Amino acid sequence: MRALVDHHGRSFPYLRLSLTEACNYRCTYCLPDGYQADGSPKFLALDEIERLVRGFAALGMSKIRLTGGEPSLRKDLPAIIAAVAAVAGVRRIALTTNGCRLPRLVRGWREAGLTALNVSLDSLDAARFLAITGHDRFAEVSAGIEQALGLGFDAVKVNVVLLRGRNDDELPAWLEYLRERDLAVRFIELMQTGDNREFFERHHLRAESLQQQLLAAGWQLRERAADAGPALEYAHPDYRGRIGVIAPYARDFCAGCNRLRVTARGDLRLCLFGNFGIPLRPLLQSDDDHDALVARIAVQLGLKAAGHGLHEGLTGITPHLASIGG
Ligand code: SAM
C-beta of residue 270 within 8 angstroms of C-beta of residue 279? no
Q: How far is the CA of 321 from the centre of ligand 1 (A)?
A: 6
Q: Considering the entire predicted model, what is its pTM?
A: 0.94
Q: Ligand 1 centre and the CA of 162: distance in Å?
A: 11
For ligand 1, residues with CB inside 6 Å are 23, 29-30, 67-68, 70, 96-98, 120, 159, 161, 188, 190-191, 193, 196, 321-322, 326
Strand partners, 117: 95, 156
Task: Tell me the C-alpha distance between 56 and 164, whole Å.
Answer: 38
Residue among 30, 167, 249 to mutate when testing ligand 1 (max atoms within 8 A of CB): 30
Strand, helix or coil for residue 158: strand
**At a CB cut-off of 8 Å and minimum separation 6, what does 269 contact?**
260, 261, 262, 263, 277, 278, 324
Check whether 2 has a pLDDT greater than 60: no
Q: What residue's CA is closest to ligand 1, atom 12? A: 326
Among residues of the chain, what percentage have pLDDT more than 90? 75
Q: Ligand 1: which of 321, 323, 324 to mutate, most ligand atoms within 8 Å of CB?
A: 321
- From 73, 140, 185, 188, give the residue whose CB has the most ligand 1 atoms within 8 Å, as the site to mutate: 188
- pLDDT bracket for residue 305 (50, 70, 90): low
Which one has a higher pLDDT value, 190 or 248? 190
SS3 content of the chain, % helix, strand, coil (to 5): 35, 15, 50
pLDDT, tens digit, for every residue of 230-284? 889 999 999 999 999 999 888 778 777 888 899 999 999 988 777 778 999 999 9
- The model's pLDDT over 109-156, given as tens digits with 9 standing for 90+, comes to 999 999 999 999 999 999 999 999 999 999 999 999 999 999 999 999
Alpha-carbon span 82 to 84, nearest angstrom: 6
Helices 126-133 and 138-149 pack at an angle, to 10 degrees, of 110
CA of 121 to the centre of ligand 1 (A): 10
By CB neighbour count within 10 A (0-12 exposed, 13-18 middle, 19+ buried), where does 288 fall? exposed
Average pLDDT value for residue range 296-318 = 75
Say which residue, 312 or 259, is predicted with more confidence.
259
